[in-house]
Each structure stands twice: as C-alpha cells, then as structure tokens.
Amino acid sequence: MLAWLIRFVLVLRSMCVARASREAEIVVLRQQLLVLNRRSAARRRLRNIDRLILVCLCRLFPSVLDAMVIVKPETVLRWHRRGFRAYWRWKSWQRGGRPRIDREVRALIRRMSSENPLWGAPRIHGELLMLGIDVSESTVGRYMIRIGRPRSQGWKTFLQNQASGIASIDLFVVRTISFRLLYG
C-alpha cells in the first residue's frame, strides 16, 4: 500500500513539474513575440526587463532554452553569469569608507594641540579616550595643528660644532694560533 502511495505522489509531482515547464515555455515564447512586435525600424533590441525574464525562466526551468528563437541559449546563460557577477560585485562593494569625525571633535583636537604644544598624538588620544571619545591615534594626528618648530641641525653643522672633541679610533681583533684574541 505504501509503495503504491509513493508512486502515485511521484506521478502527480511529475505532472505538475511538466505542466509548470510547459507554462514557462509559453511565457518565454510570448516574451519573444512581444520583443518582435515592438516598433523599431532597425535591429530588435532587448530591454533589461526582457533579459531578466528570460534569465529567470531559464534558471527555474532549464528546458525552456530549447524554445529560444531570437537569442541563442548561450547568450541567455552569459546574461545570467554577468548578472551573477554584478550581484556579487555589488554585494562585496564597500560603502562609505571611514566614518566621519564630528566637527566638535575635530575642533577639540585642534584646541588641545594648540593649547598644549608639547603633547603629541598619543597623549591627546589618551585624553580623548578618558573623555569617552573613541577615535584612533592616526585620526588625532591628522587633525592636530602643525606647529612651526625650528629645524634641528644637520650632520654637517653637528660635526663642525663638535669637531674639537671628536676622536677617531679604529679597533681590530687578531686571532692567534692558540685561539687567543689580540686587540690592536
């Protein structure tokens, strides 16, 4: 009895699938007729909605590829692949970038750096964290006021200033036959 019931359900399912497949094929043929009946003088062009309908029907019912007349089945499959790539490119696209810093926080960073010229970005960052403002240290460094400090002296100036106190010594090490070290 159970085997007979399973066979009956499978027959009903195959009839429903076959009927849905026929209906999908009819929809594809009607869509192609609509495209061909449009008023255009030259070449018939498919709109995006036409492509979407054909691709969706081919995705749900692969047997409708046999009913394609105005386009090749490979073209419909190429449209499907292109849409798939576009979807995942859109899905993985990063929107926005870094979050914007409020104007008040930027003004506070500038004020703290101008009133405390010896404080660097790590110190200001720590103070902002204690105030409950969560920004990164690199962001604090970006919005700090640049103070025009005099440049430090270069190597040439340093050597000229310190020439009288500089002594040059060259040391070398020699190993003897008995593996002792001689310093010269």
**71 and 139 inside one domain:** no
**69 and 119 inside one domain:** no
Distance of CA 104 to the CA centre of its chain: 30
What's the pLDDT tens digit per position in 47-89? 888 888 888 888 888 888 788 878 788 888 888 888 889 888 8
Kindly give the interhelix angle for 121-130 and 103-115, rounded to the nearest 10 degrees.
130
Domain count, the chain: 2
Q: Which domain holds residue 61?
A: 12-92
- Among 50, 76, 92, where does a domain finish? 92
Distance of CA 53 to the CA centre of its chain: 30
**88 and 17 inside one domain:** yes
Alpha-carbon distance of 115 to 137, in angstroms, equals 18
What's the pLDDT tens digit per position in 3-12? 666 665 656 6
What's the pLDDT tens digit per position in 26-47? 888 888 888 887 776 667 777 8
**138 and 111 inside one domain:** yes
In the prediction, which pLDDT does 173 show? 84
Alpha-carbon distance of 42 to 45, in angstroms, equals 9
Is 168 inside any structural domain? no
What's the pLDDT tens digit per position in 108-164? 999 999 888 888 899 999 999 999 999 999 999 999 988 776 677 788 888 888 877
**67 and 139 inside one domain:** no
Distance of CA 153 to the CA centre of its chain: 45
